Amino acid sequence: MPHLTPLLLFKNLSDETRLLIVLLLREAPELCVCELCSMLNLPQPKISRHLAMLRESGILLDRRAGKWIHYRLSHNLPMWAGNIIEQAYLSEEPRIKMIHSGQSTDATTMQHLCS
């Protein structure tokens, strides 16, 4: 796992899908791939590719439970990185809660979230 630098964190969070995944995992302690696919209305290969990038950067951790793989934010994130994620979450908390609850997965809401 590479050392998480500001550049690496911001490169990962600059992608809309990866940012949404991180913010959803801030909302929920742990989510499986199928839950993220449903919330974001995206295909499993696309979600899995983004999850792999976040895991390889040390932002996420995973665990296997049978055939399911569950993801969560790493507890080993540097404090500065956790603070950035927390501030991003707080600025978008109502929308993240809507997406997490399944009330909104349309493209307009997702686009507005990251604009």
Q: What pLDDT score does 82 carry?
A: 97
Mean pLDDT calculated for residue range 1-7: 85
What residue ranges define each of the domains in the chain, with the CATH number in brackets?
6-102 (1.10.10.10)
- Provide the 8-state DSSP code for 28: S
Higher pLDDT pick, 7 / 111: 7
**Residue 6 · residue 57 · CB < 8 Å:** no
Dist. CA 3–CA 23, nearest whole Å: 21
Q: Percent of the chain beyond pLDDT 70?
A: 88
Q: Is 106 a residue whose pLDDT tops 70?
A: no
**Residue 2 · residue 8 · CB < 8 Å:** yes
Query: Residue 114: what residue type?
Result: C
> pLDDT tens digits, residue range 50-97?
999 999 999 999 999 999 999 999 999 999 999 999 999 999 999 999
Higher pLDDT pick, 114 / 106: 106
